[in-house]
Amino acid sequence: MGQCCCAGSRTFVEDKIYDEFVERSAGRAKKRTPTVFADVRDNMPIAREKIFGPVQQLIHRAGSSNSKYVLAAALFTKDLDYAN
């Protein structure tokens, strides 16, 4: 058997809900320990290097899809037709 390496620290967010998602994520971080990084781009070290710690990277979905460092992914949506 192999192993699964999945850290949900990179969050790609649809542009039309990005600002609200950042605000809600930052509000949740105040109640817990994670640090939220907004407006992350693929060329930034935080997006290119493994981060071990309670962090969340928020990335505009339309503006970032060139990363070659993605190990695993998940999708949360209410619209399965759009997701396909």
Helix (H) or strand (E) holding 22: helix 18-31
Task: Specify the residue for token string 């710690």.
Answer: 53
Q: What is the pTM of this model?
A: 0.58
The confidence score (pLDDT) of residue 34 equals 74
**Hey, what amino acid is at 19?**
D
The confidence score (pLDDT) of residue 55 equals 85
Query: Rounded to an integer, what is the distance from CA 45 to the centroid of its chain?
Result: 14
Judge whether 35 and 55 are in contact, CB under 8 Å: yes
Higher pLDDT, 81 or 71: 81
First CA to last CA distance, the chain: 30
The confidence score (pLDDT) of residue 42 equals 78
Question: Could you tell me the pLDDT band of residue 19, with boundaries at 50, 70 and 90?
Answer: very high
pLDDT digits (tens, 9 = 90+) for 42-69: 788 888 787 777 888 888 876 555 655 5
